[in-house]
Amino acid sequence: MCQLLGMNSSKLASVQFSLEGFVRRGGETDEHRDGWGIAYFEGNAHQLFQDPLPASVSPLAEAMRRVPVRSRNIIAHIRKATQGAVELANCHPFARELWGRSWVFAHNGNLPANELPLDGRFSPVGTTDSEHAFCFMLQELERRFGARQPHTEALHEALELLNRQIAELGSFNYLLSCGQGLFAHCSTSLYHVERAYPFSQASLIDCDLRVHFGHLNHLDDSMCVIATKPLTTGEDWAAFAPGELRYFTGGTLAPGGRARRTPSMAI
């Protein structure tokens, strides 16, 4: 199956160090050769880059490593195809508009898409079970909340219900963001690490590269990185429990892993 990489930061930041190891899993140190993609946010909008080539040899991946993007929320994905051809339309992440915001989604797992009926408001462009499930999620969220975006707490509760429904059909690890926070759901395997003061030194598992984050960050910087499998040694990666949904905002895990009600409608 595929692998996921996500980042939520308190400030504009790059995920360059983690990406150096992650892209190597796309055909060099692991078997995920069937395309890759990365999305990041600028306010309510997103930028999306995809390539059906293996990430380890992709010129696009090399360009992204040389000139890293900076954002508060980033989602990346390397693909090992289980459903759908190896082509651009089937590369993650996927993006759609809902409630006047761009929503970005990437999935690791395998689902019977025909068990998730779509009414046409959101339709897949490609042929993956992942994009189908994403369209189904947005369809059901819009059905539940209408044209008005819910508070984070209500959205978290709705996602938990959808997660249970979809995960009954197969494995459903995913990352989801609209640019002001990042949801991460574990079905089988997902981890996160928080990089904040006092910063530590870490070494990548997939290549000979190490860094001391204290040399790159200010005392008030904070970032959470989420991955299918730990990317480094020297850091304490926290495993998700199966069925757990965590919400990251401001570069840290929300208390109890849950979104909280906020006075504004933005999440």
Q: Apex CA 240: angle with CA 238 and CA 241, to 5°?
A: 135
Domains and CATH numbers, the chain: 3-257 (3.60.20.10)
Q: Based on the residue annotation, tell me whether 2 is a catalytic residue of this protein.
A: yes
8 A C-beta contact, residue 4 and residue 173: yes
CA-CA distance, 264 to 162, in Å (whole number)? 24
Between 114 and 228, name the one with better pLDDT.
228
Report the distance separating Cα 178 and Cα 183, nearest Å. Answer: 9
Is the peptide bond between 124 and the residue preceding it cis, with omega within 30 degrees of 0? no
**Spatial distance between the Cα atoms of 254 and 260, rounded to a whole number of angstroms:** 8
Residues 6 or more apart whose Cβ sits within 8 Å of residue 66:
none
Q: What is the pLDDT of residues 185-215, one digit of tens each?
A: 999 999 999 998 888 889 999 999 998 887 7
Evaluate the omega torsion of the peptide bond into residue 93 and state whether it is cis, within 30 degrees of 0: yes
Total-model pTM: 0.94
User: Contact, 245 vs 156, CB < 8 A?
Assistant: yes
pLDDT over threshold 50, residue 264: no
Cα Rg for the chain, rounded, in angstroms? 17
At 37, the pLDDT band (50, 70, 90 cuts) reads very high
Q: What sign does the CA torsion over 145, 150, 154, 156 have? A: positive
In the block, residue with structure tokens 């819009």: 142
